[in-house]
Amino acid sequence: MLPRWPSILMLSGSLGAIAAAFILEPDPRGFGTHEQLWLPPCGFLETMGKPCPLCGVTTSFCHLLRGHLLTSLMLHPFGTLFGLCVLVVPFVAVLALKHRRPFFPTWLLHQWHWAVLSGGFLLAISWCYTIARYTR
């Protein structure tokens, strides 16, 4: 029998992230929205004076869920891409559960390193953009 826990885990995680992004108010600075979850400010930003690779992702995601696509893209392109993926996950998970299929396609289970490398490359490009547009 096919394990259902990956689909259930992905469904609950994505719905939790979507709910949190709706509750959070996007920080007008373009970063720091995560601090509303009682998380500390970015240590990289405080010590280096430049944003870390993930600075602005939460804010970008919050703007995306509010329909501010251009603002989301301008803040952090990877945050927009991440947000679009998170929005698709519940549908994929429900279909996987309904049709008793695995959440992750078989090819991805065997070629996961390409997905990780691609995501890392897109994050690096997005980080370069974020640093270039960042002003303190």
Cα separation, 81 vs 13, in Å, equals 17
Higher pLDDT, 62 or 1: 62
Residue 1 has pLDDT above 80, yes or no: no
- Burial of residue 107 (number of CB atoms within 10 Å: 0-12, 13-18, 19+): exposed
% of residues, the chain, pLDDT over 90: 86
Give the integer Cα–Cα distance in Å for 88 and 104. Answer: 13
This prediction has a pTM of: 0.91
Give the contacts of 18 (CB within 8 A, at least 6 positions apart): 65, 86, 87, 90
Tens-place pLDDT, residues 25-76: 999 999 999 999 999 999 999 999 999 999 999 999 999 999 999 999 999 9
Place of tokens 């990956």: 6
